[in-house]
């Protein structure tokens, strides 16, 4: 049976869902509405650097940050809309740094569901001049988290965006003993070059790995950890890219589903939602023993 409780740690409200058989999921509405932790017994799905979680001056390094209304950077941190007005926006947008609202979850015997939402404000309109509402429903089951998303345009003009997630999966030791991404090539952001994808990169040969995969030929990617667990990311057709990101000295591996890629808002390649309409998408993460 799943249950729910609200906690406060170091001034942050935590929404914790847990079950009789050892499933635990933690959400922190005030830090980007983020799913920060998921455990199956003592097996973690995510990496989390707690020092960044409790420091509001830092982006949280860990958990599952939400990227909206862009993924990646913009050219010189700026973009221009159809009306000719120019705006500034930081990498990955604004949703991950804003407080979200969490509803009371529904807890059942084999699953739990919690909805978190974010609405535009005077502050968001200064960098992204649209009225919007995001509604994310998280379904928690044994070994799997599914995120059903709604991106609602409350404006009277088309709303351009491309959203995504930046999951920091726990990856001890060599990070991955097997890796599957359904693409034949990738853009190496650090080298500024496109290359054929040959399998597991040598994560220890460079300080940072940053690879962008387009032309996806399937709706899942996965890697096998050195501790005997497989982590799988599944996504619907809204997500056209997978980003593989890692740092040599940290025990995480990011397999990030993105709807768009670096600079797409500058290049007119965003999703456009009509006034009063919504855009839906689904992503799931699972962890299982090999």
- Residue 215 CB: number of other CB atoms within 10 A? 11
Place of tokens 């978190």: 116
- What's the N-to-C CA distance of the chain in angstroms? 25
CATH of the domain at 34: 2.70.98.10
198 pLDDT higher than 90: no
Separation between Cα atoms, residue 164 and residue 249, nearest integer Å: 25
Q: What confidence tens digit (pLDDT) does each residue in 140-154 have?
A: 999 999 999 999 999
How far lies 65's CA from each of 168, 171, 257, in Å? 9, 17, 11
What local confidence, expressed as pLDDT, does residue 286 receive?
98
Identify each DSSP E strand in 62-218 by its residue range. 66-67, 78-80, 86-88, 101-102, 106-107, 112-119, 132-141, 144-153, 159-161, 164-165, 168-170, 178-180, 185-188, 193-196, 208-213
Specify the 3-state DSSP secondary structure of 187.
Answer: strand
Number of domains in the chain: 1
- Residue 91 CB: number of other CB atoms within 10 A? 13
For the chain, what is the mean pLDDT? 96
83 pLDDT higher than 90: no
Please give the average per-residue pLDDT across 88-97, as a whole number: 96
Separation between Cα atoms, residue 274 and residue 278, nearest integer Å: 8
Separation between Cα atoms, residue 105 and residue 93, nearest integer Å: 27
Q: Considering the chain, what percentage of its residues have pLDDT values greater than 90?
A: 96
What local confidence, expressed as pLDDT, does residue 124 receive?
97
Q: How confident is the model at residue 46 (pLDDT cuts 50, 70, 90)?
A: very high
What local confidence, expressed as pLDDT, does residue 245 receive?
98
Q: What confidence tens digit (pLDDT) does each residue in 166-197 have?
A: 999 999 999 999 999 999 999 999 999 999 99
Strand partners for 194? 187
| Domain extent at residue 180 | 2-289
Q: How confident is the model at residue 69 (pLDDT cuts 50, 70, 90)?
A: very high
């Amino acid at each position: 049976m799943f249950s729910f409780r609200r906690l406060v740690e170091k001034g942050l409200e935590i929404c914790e869902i847990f079950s009789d058989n050892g499933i635990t999921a933690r959400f922190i509405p005030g830090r980007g509405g983020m799913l920060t932790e998921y455990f199956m017994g003592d097996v973690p799905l995510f990496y989390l650097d707690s020092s960044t979680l409790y420091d509001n001056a830092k982006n949280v390094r860990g958990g599952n940050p939400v990227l909206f209304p862009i993924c990646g950077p913009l050219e010189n941190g700026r973009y221009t809309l159809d009306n000719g007005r120019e705006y500034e926006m930081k990498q990955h947008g604004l949703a991950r740094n804003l407080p979200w609202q969490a509803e009371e979850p529904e807890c059942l015997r084999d699953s739990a569901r919690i909805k978190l939402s974010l609405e535009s404000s005077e502050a968001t309109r200064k960098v992204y001049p649209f009225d919007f509402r995001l509604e994310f429903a998280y379904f928690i089951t044994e070994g799997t988290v599914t995120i059903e998303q709604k991106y609602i345009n409350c404006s009277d003009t088309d709303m351009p965006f491309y959203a995504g997630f930046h999951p920091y999966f726990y990856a001890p030791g060599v990070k991955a003993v097997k890796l599957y991404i359904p693409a034949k090539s990738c853009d190496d952001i650090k080298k500024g070059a496109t290359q054929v994808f040959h399998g597991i990169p040598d994560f220890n040969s460079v300080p940072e790995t940053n690879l962008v995969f387009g032309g996806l030929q399937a709706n899942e990617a996965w890697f096998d950890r050195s501790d005997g667990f497989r982590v799988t990311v599944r996504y619907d057709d809204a997500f056209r890219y997978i980003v593989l990101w890692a740092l040599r000295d940290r025990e995480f591996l990011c397999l990030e589903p993105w709807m768009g890629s670096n600079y797409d808002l500058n290049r007119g390649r965003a999703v456009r939602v009509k006034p009063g309409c919504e855009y839906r998408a689904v992503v799931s993460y699972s962890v299982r023993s090999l």
